[in-house]
Chain A
């Protein structure tokens, strides 16, 4: 017998003039895994933050077990049995698992009876759900997957009957994802209700029994997962059908345009992050670099683009040595030689968000003709150039004078991409080209990268999205702990093989 555990009726929420949630109705049944899917900015996280009491809705009612409740803070939600695992974990790094879980619920001034009871309860919970956590280990020693389990355990300990997970797999390796899914299934079997927020269709199909789709702040549909498929869901998400697999021509790899020999790079804290890496990229091919975040990809990209010093090893562009530990070209000199770089973090590095769009559209090329002439900027040419490429790359809105931070993430990314691709570089380094970008823009960006490749550019694609690496790359290398641990031809590789490499198992 299905009975609704959580009912939302006519929920509305606005931030200033942005209507983030419009008349949302949602019913979640007890003991199910319910997926909420939508593009970035569709309003999923806002809705769940309302349910968790982080935001207050402007109007609408929330019922738990048929009883209307008023959620003013996360505390109210916890009392009503709602728990949430955030995308970014809320853990004290130098505390143990136990200390983190009882934080705020210690119940006694001097640890004693209550602590012992907590320990016992937690052990029972771990056993019931096969969480396999050592309560005495320090958070900073745990992998991301385990930290997530600590968050889950924390919610369960506080009596959560409904568990909300916000993009839980974004930071996990495929193996960790499998483990997580196992845990979630066993939670469901024990009668818990799980709400899974995600933009990954595979996860919805794998795990959920019901799914709700959001688009631009509205709930556009509810359905049983068994009655739908990926294509249909994708269409509901974006409001039109999208191409999930890219059509691309056979690779016509030419001469080696860019190569790296025995490269070692250290980070700001003097930790060696890239260890003896060798790479070769040919004209007309895309080399995909897969790996879990933090395995040296960032430092590698920074070294290749001239931002970070090389510790040892050499970098060659068109057969000529451009950098080693003694002599290196700076980013501008590399640009002049035909190397363009789309950095991983657009807000931290790729853009000056306080600048107007046209100022960012010439960023890094501002000292070239016709943008500047003997140190004076040529505004007329800059503006007309900006209008032209904003139209070509469909940057919306097409107003060069608008401050960049007012553009959406996808459009900010298009600003960077149009700037870097417009110069027709011979070698292109791309980091996370579609992070936080919605499906429509992803398709566009991928197509542009394929076009570049077909025109004979050598492209290095660094991405944590396995799907992206698989659909774009001609060859794939996997980076783990600063080393290249495997190279595969894209034609005969499975995500499982890559996942094992990414996790450092093989």
Chain B
């Protein structure tokens, strides 16, 4: 297969058609899994769509998951533009949650909106601080962030268990979690919002953090493509030698990119602590940090791609739990496998059919142009 002249490939082929083809393939393979497990794949798809769109609570859940994936997806993408593989989103989110809680509980004498702003800042600062250590080691010692960030996930998990058991545990309870934050500090949820329009919902984890996710997406787009910071980060990421030549410090930019990345991951703590649990519960990041890597890869590290990719994973999470509920042969782990297949096709095998698809469209367009 002759390589395709990249400059002739229209943007929508490489950024839309190719991911869609990969996604379709992943779903076909997943369908095969479901078929082998003894269930009807068509029925499973119906359940996924119903579960994630079919009723208002379900749809709200989808958007709640989307919120978390947007934060962790953006976090991964920012570091990746500096060619840093930050797989420590999980730990940074965990520590970010600690920041939210500590700020909220200690500043409860302040007006609520100010506490919110400070808590968001707390999430960013704590998440960034947790990313700073691997960043510093990478910049000064060349310790690879893949190794250090994954270790820092374990350290974060152990640290949080220690704190939740021995230091900040709600002593009135048996479980590893803190006391609840004062009720007035809780983020308004979708339930409250729907209530304004007279719609009654039992419960919804969706809260105004969703708007924060949109704001974070805009922020990342602006940072990466419109500011000097983003420009320098990308220069270091694409060609470190050239960056040094141009007087751009790789050292500085590695640290900046990782800290912004950690800060974004920390925002997941805002959604979980202020929006959902209203306290720190052990293990609240629940793998969102890792799934964020797949979201970013699928979204091609651009906010415009990350948002729909996060939404897709939201559908899978929410629809998947509906399927496992209704289909006895499909366990929760089956859906982890489905996610795995999607990650495989849109991440690791991303370029499997890219040359064929691109040359197909380039040839078609050429024929049209010459006709």
13 A-B residue pairs with CB within 8 Å: A305-B245, A343-B245, A348-B239, A349-B239, A354-B238, A359-B231, A363-B242, A364-B246, A364-B247, A366-B231, A376-B226, A377-B226, A377-B231
Contact of B247 among A333, A372, A375, A402 (CB under 8 A): A333
Query: Is A458 close to B, CB under 8 A?
Result: no
Say whether, besides A352-B235, A375-B229, A331 and B244 are in contact (CB < 8 Å). yes
Measured between beta carbons, the chain A residues less than 8 angstroms from B169 are: none
Closest residue of chain A to B247, judged by CB? Answer: A332
Query: Is A129 close to B, CB under 8 A?
Result: no
Measured between beta carbons, the chain A residues less than 8 angstroms from B241 are: 348-349
Measured between beta carbons, the chain B residues less than 8 angstroms from A17 are: 5, 8
- Mark A319-344 against chain B: 1 for CB-CB distance below 8 A, else 0: 00000000000111101000001010
Count, A-B residue pairs, CB within 8 A? 82
Query: Is B7 close to A, CB under 8 A?
Result: yes
A34 → chain B closest CB, angstroms = 30
The tally of residues in A whose CB lies under 8 Å from a CB in B reads: 36
Closest residue of chain B to A306, judged by CB? Answer: B247
- Mark B244-256 against chain A: 1 for CB-CB distance below 8 A, else 0: 1111110000000
A191 → chain B closest CB, angstroms = 39
Measured between beta carbons, the chain A residues less than 8 angstroms from B247 are: 306, 330-333, 335, 364
| CB <8 Å contact, A18 and B238 | no
Query: Is A183 close to B, CB under 8 A?
Result: no
Which positions 214-258 of chain B face chain A at CB distance < 8 Å? 226-229, 231-232, 234-235, 238-239, 241-249
By a beta-carbon cutoff of 8 Å, the part of chain B in contact with chain A is 2-8, 226-229, 231-232, 234-235, 238-239, 241-249
Measured between beta carbons, the chain B residues less than 8 angstroms from A171 are: none
Q: How far is the CA of A86 from the CA of B7 in the complex (A)?
A: 30
A376 → chain B closest CB, angstroms = 5
The prevalent SS among residues of B at the interface is helix
Measured between beta carbons, the chain B residues less than 8 angstroms from A376 are: 226-228
Query: Is A59 close to B, CB under 8 A?
Result: no
A17-B5, A307-B244, A376-B226 given; name 13 further pairs at CB < 8 Å.
Answer: A14-B2, A331-B245, A333-B247, A349-B241, A350-B242, A352-B239, A352-B242, A353-B239, A363-B246, A364-B245, A366-B228, A375-B227, A403-B6
B116 → chain A closest CB, angstroms = 27
6 shortest interchain CB distances as A-B pairs: A332-B247, A364-B246, A331-B247, A406-B7, A352-B239, A352-B238
A344 → chain B closest CB, angstroms = 11
| CB <8 Å contact, B4 and A16 | yes
Which positions 1-26 of chain A face chain B at CB distance < 8 Å? 14-18
B71 → chain A closest CB, angstroms = 24
Closest residue of chain A to B229, judged by CB? Answer: A375
Closest residue of chain A to B245, judged by CB? Answer: A349
Query: Is A379 close to B, CB under 8 A?
Result: yes
Measured between beta carbons, the chain A residues less than 8 angstroms from B227 are: 372, 375-377
Say whether, besides A17-B8, A353-B239, A341 and B231 are in contact (CB < 8 Å). no
Which positions 400-449 of chain A face chain B at CB distance < 8 Å? 402-403, 406
Q: How far is the CA of A461 from the CA of B329 in the complex (A)?
A: 74
Measured between beta carbons, the chain A residues less than 8 angstroms from B7 are: 402-403, 406
Query: Is A351 close to B, CB under 8 A?
Result: yes
| CB <8 Å contact, A349 and B228 | no
| CB <8 Å contact, B246 and A16 | no
Measured between beta carbons, the chain B residues less than 8 angstroms from A375 are: 227-229
Measured between beta carbons, the chain B residues less than 8 angstroms from A332 are: 246-248
B249 → chain A closest CB, angstroms = 8
Query: Is A367 close to B, CB under 8 A?
Result: yes
Query: Is A393 close to B, CB under 8 A?
Result: no
Query: Is A316 close to B, CB under 8 A?
Result: no
| CB <8 Å contact, A15 and B2 | yes
Measured between beta carbons, the chain A residues less than 8 angstroms from B226 are: 376-377, 379
A108 → chain B closest CB, angstroms = 40
Measured between beta carbons, the chain A residues less than 8 angstroms from B6 are: 403, 406
Contact of A350 among B245, B248, B249 (CB under 8 A): B245
Contact of B245 among A15, A341, A354, A366 (CB under 8 A): A341
B190 → chain A closest CB, angstroms = 35
Contact of B2 among A16, A333, A372, A402 (CB under 8 A): A16
Query: Is A181 close to B, CB under 8 A?
Result: no
Query: Is A355 close to B, CB under 8 A?
Result: yes
Q: How far is the CA of A367 from the CA of B249 in the complex (A)?
A: 13
Q: How far is the CA of A353 from the CA of B234 in the complex (A)?
A: 12
Q: How far is the CA of A363 from the CA of B244 in the complex (A)?
A: 11
| CB <8 Å contact, A372 and B228 | yes
| CB <8 Å contact, B228 and A307 | no
Measured between beta carbons, the chain A residues less than 8 angstroms from B3 are: 15-16
Measured between beta carbons, the chain A residues less than 8 angstroms from B2 are: 14-16
A254 → chain B closest CB, angstroms = 28
A84 → chain B closest CB, angstroms = 23
Measured between beta carbons, the chain B residues less than 8 angstroms from A353 are: 238-239
Closest residue of chain B to A371, judged by CB? Answer: B228
Q: How far is the CA of A485 from the CA of B272 in the complex (A)?
A: 70
| CB <8 Å contact, B245 and A18 | no
